[in-house]
Protein backbone atom coordinates (compact mmCIF):
# COMPACT_ATOMS: atom_id res chain seq x y z
CA UNK A 1 0.00 0.00 0.00
CA UNK A 2 1.45 3.36 -1.00
CA UNK A 3 -0.78 5.46 1.23
CA UNK A 4 0.37 7.21 4.41
CA UNK A 5 -1.88 6.73 7.43
CA UNK A 6 -1.82 9.47 10.05
CA UNK A 7 -2.27 8.45 13.68
CA UNK A 8 -3.35 11.21 16.05
CA UNK A 9 -0.57 11.21 18.65
CA UNK A 10 -1.71 13.76 21.23
CA UNK A 11 -2.19 11.13 23.96
CA UNK A 12 -3.69 7.69 24.42
CA UNK A 13 -2.99 4.39 22.63
CA UNK A 14 -1.47 5.85 19.46
CA UNK A 15 1.76 3.81 19.65
CA UNK A 16 -0.19 0.56 19.50
CA UNK A 17 -2.05 1.69 16.36
CA UNK A 18 1.24 2.71 14.74
CA UNK A 19 2.73 -0.71 15.58
CA UNK A 20 -0.31 -2.57 14.19
CA UNK A 21 -0.25 -0.58 10.94
CA UNK A 22 3.52 -0.91 10.50
CA UNK A 23 3.22 -4.68 11.08
CA UNK A 24 0.89 -4.67 8.08
CA UNK A 25 3.53 -2.87 6.02
CA UNK A 26 1.85 0.53 6.03
CA UNK A 27 3.62 3.90 6.15
CA UNK A 28 2.41 5.87 9.17
CA UNK A 29 2.89 9.37 10.50
CA UNK A 30 2.25 10.49 14.07
CA UNK A 31 0.10 13.62 13.91
CA UNK A 32 0.90 16.10 16.68
CA UNK A 33 0.69 19.42 14.81
CA UNK A 34 -1.42 20.73 11.95
CA UNK A 35 1.53 20.44 9.56
CA UNK A 36 1.65 16.66 10.25
CA UNK A 37 -1.73 16.26 8.47
CA UNK A 38 -0.13 17.22 5.17
CA UNK A 39 0.52 14.18 3.01
CA UNK A 40 -1.65 11.81 5.02
CA UNK A 41 -4.27 9.85 3.11
CA UNK A 42 -6.25 8.55 6.11
CA UNK A 43 -6.38 9.04 9.88
CA UNK A 44 -6.62 6.88 12.98
CA UNK A 45 -7.94 8.52 16.16
CA UNK A 46 -6.96 6.30 19.09
CA UNK A 47 -8.39 5.65 22.51
CA UNK A 48 -7.41 7.96 25.34
CA UNK A 49 -9.22 10.79 27.10
CA UNK A 50 -11.71 12.29 24.65
CA UNK A 51 -12.19 15.63 26.44
CA UNK A 52 -8.44 16.28 26.51
CA UNK A 53 -8.03 15.18 22.90
CA UNK A 54 -10.89 17.43 21.75
CA UNK A 55 -9.44 20.45 23.54
CA UNK A 56 -5.99 19.79 22.08
CA UNK A 57 -7.42 19.39 18.57
CA UNK A 58 -8.95 22.87 18.94
CA UNK A 59 -5.91 24.48 20.57
CA UNK A 60 -3.55 23.11 17.92
CA UNK A 61 -5.83 24.19 15.06
CA UNK A 62 -6.31 20.59 13.84
CA UNK A 63 -10.05 20.15 14.51
CA UNK A 64 -11.52 22.08 11.57
CA UNK A 65 -8.97 20.99 8.93
CA UNK A 66 -9.44 17.36 10.01
CA UNK A 67 -13.23 17.75 9.87
CA UNK A 68 -12.93 19.17 6.34
CA UNK A 69 -10.69 16.28 5.25
CA UNK A 70 -13.23 13.75 6.60
CA UNK A 71 -16.05 15.66 4.86
CA UNK A 72 -14.13 15.42 1.59
CA UNK A 73 -13.88 11.63 1.91
CA UNK A 74 -10.65 10.94 3.80
CA UNK A 75 -11.00 7.57 5.58
CA UNK A 76 -10.91 7.78 9.38
CA UNK A 77 -10.88 5.06 12.05
CA UNK A 78 -11.75 6.03 15.63
CA UNK A 79 -11.39 3.68 18.59
CA UNK A 80 -12.86 4.32 22.06
CA UNK A 81 -12.13 8.04 22.59
CA UNK A 82 -11.77 8.34 18.81
CA UNK A 83 -15.34 7.04 18.43
CA UNK A 84 -16.55 9.63 20.95
CA UNK A 85 -14.82 12.45 19.07
CA UNK A 86 -16.35 11.32 15.78
CA UNK A 87 -19.98 11.21 17.03
CA UNK A 88 -22.42 14.07 16.43
CA UNK A 89 -23.88 13.83 19.93
CA UNK A 90 -22.38 12.81 23.28
CA UNK A 91 -24.88 12.13 26.07
CA UNK A 92 -24.60 14.78 28.82
CA UNK A 93 -21.57 16.46 27.26
CA UNK A 94 -20.80 19.53 25.19
CA UNK A 95 -17.10 18.65 24.87
CA UNK A 96 -15.30 19.52 21.61
CA UNK A 97 -15.77 16.89 18.90
CA UNK A 98 -15.48 16.31 15.19
CA UNK A 99 -19.18 15.37 14.97
CA UNK A 100 -18.92 13.55 11.62
CA UNK A 101 -20.55 10.23 12.59
CA UNK A 102 -24.35 10.25 12.67
CA UNK A 103 -24.59 8.61 16.08
CA UNK A 104 -25.28 9.29 19.76
CA UNK A 105 -22.66 7.95 22.16
CA UNK A 106 -22.51 7.57 25.94
CA UNK A 107 -19.08 7.79 27.55
CA UNK A 108 -17.84 5.24 30.11
CA UNK A 109 -20.96 3.17 29.48
CA UNK A 110 -19.57 0.00 31.06
CA UNK A 111 -18.23 1.62 34.23
CA UNK A 112 -14.83 2.55 35.56
CA UNK A 113 -11.35 1.26 34.70
CA UNK A 114 -11.82 -1.66 37.11
CA UNK A 115 -14.85 -2.76 35.05
CA UNK A 116 -12.78 -3.23 31.88
CA UNK A 117 -13.31 -6.53 30.10
CA UNK A 118 -12.66 -8.57 26.98
CA UNK A 119 -15.35 -10.18 24.85
CA UNK A 120 -15.21 -12.32 21.72
CA UNK A 121 -17.51 -10.42 19.37
CA UNK A 122 -19.08 -11.72 16.19
CA UNK A 123 -18.14 -9.22 13.45
CA UNK A 124 -19.43 -10.73 10.18
CA UNK A 125 -17.51 -8.28 7.93
CA UNK A 126 -14.27 -9.65 9.41
CA UNK A 127 -15.11 -13.30 8.80
CA UNK A 128 -16.49 -16.19 10.85
CA UNK A 129 -14.04 -16.02 13.76
CA UNK A 130 -15.10 -13.76 16.66
CA UNK A 131 -12.97 -10.67 17.28
CA UNK A 132 -11.24 -10.35 20.70
CA UNK A 133 -12.56 -6.93 21.75
CA UNK A 134 -10.89 -5.13 24.67
CA UNK A 135 -13.23 -2.66 26.43
CA UNK A 136 -11.54 -0.10 28.73
CA UNK A 137 -13.84 2.59 30.17
CA UNK A 138 -15.58 2.14 26.86
CA UNK A 139 -18.34 4.20 25.29
CA UNK A 140 -21.45 2.66 23.81
CA UNK A 141 -23.44 3.83 20.80
CA UNK A 142 -27.01 4.56 21.87
CA UNK A 143 -28.49 5.42 18.46
CA UNK A 144 -27.33 5.59 14.85
CA UNK A 145 -28.66 7.36 11.79
CA UNK A 146 -30.01 5.56 8.74
CA UNK A 147 -26.70 5.80 6.87
CA UNK A 148 -24.73 4.03 9.61
CA UNK A 149 -24.04 0.29 9.33
CA UNK A 150 -23.70 -1.57 12.64
CA UNK A 151 -20.80 -4.02 12.39
CA UNK A 152 -20.91 -5.41 15.94
CA UNK A 153 -23.00 -5.07 19.07
CA UNK A 154 -23.21 -6.18 22.69
CA UNK A 155 -26.26 -6.67 24.86
CA UNK A 156 -26.50 -4.21 27.74
CA UNK A 157 -29.45 -4.11 30.14
CA UNK A 158 -31.39 -6.32 27.74
CA UNK A 159 -30.83 -4.00 24.75
CA UNK A 160 -28.54 -4.57 21.78
CA UNK A 161 -26.09 -1.67 21.57
CA UNK A 162 -23.71 -0.96 18.72
CA UNK A 163 -19.99 -1.12 19.51
CA UNK A 164 -18.58 -1.01 15.95
CA UNK A 165 -20.03 0.96 13.05
CA UNK A 166 -19.26 2.24 9.58
CA UNK A 167 -20.64 5.29 7.81
CA UNK A 168 -19.05 5.62 4.37
CA UNK A 169 -15.43 6.66 4.96
CA UNK A 170 -15.81 6.54 8.78
CA UNK A 171 -15.06 3.40 10.83
CA UNK A 172 -15.47 3.48 14.60
CA UNK A 173 -15.28 1.02 17.50
CA UNK A 174 -15.97 1.28 21.23
CA UNK A 175 -13.13 -1.11 21.98
CA UNK A 176 -9.36 -1.26 21.37
CA UNK A 177 -8.41 -3.51 18.44
CA UNK A 178 -4.86 -2.16 18.66
CA UNK A 179 -4.39 -3.92 22.02
CA UNK A 180 -4.77 -7.39 20.49
CA UNK A 181 -2.71 -9.49 18.10
CA UNK A 182 -5.71 -9.60 15.73
CA UNK A 183 -5.18 -7.13 12.90
CA UNK A 184 -8.45 -7.73 11.05
CA UNK A 185 -9.98 -4.34 11.99
CA UNK A 186 -6.87 -2.55 10.79
CA UNK A 187 -6.92 -4.61 7.56
CA UNK A 188 -10.60 -3.74 7.09
CA UNK A 189 -9.72 -0.06 7.50
CA UNK A 190 -6.88 -0.39 4.98
CA UNK A 191 -9.33 -1.94 2.51
CA UNK A 192 -11.55 1.14 3.03
CA UNK A 193 -8.53 3.32 2.21
CA UNK A 194 -8.03 1.49 -1.09
CA UNK A 195 -11.61 1.95 -2.34
Which residues are known to be catalytic?
A: 80, 176, 178
The torsion angle over the Cα atoms of residues 58, 43, 75 and 143, rounded to 10 degrees, is -60
Nearest Cα neighbor of 140 from 168, 119, 169, 126 is 119
Angle between helix 50-59 and helix 63-71 axes, rounded to 10 deg: 100
Q: Residue 119 region, left (φ>0) first, then alpha (ψ -120 to 50), else beta?
A: beta
The SS3 call for residue 136 is coil
Nearest Cα neighbor of 31 from 18, 20, 21 is 18
Amino acid sequence: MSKCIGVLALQGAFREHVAALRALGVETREVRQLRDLSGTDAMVIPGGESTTMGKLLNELGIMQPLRERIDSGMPVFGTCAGLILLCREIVDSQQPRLGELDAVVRRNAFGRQVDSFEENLPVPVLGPEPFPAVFIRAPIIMNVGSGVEVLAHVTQDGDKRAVAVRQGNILAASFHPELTEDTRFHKYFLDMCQS
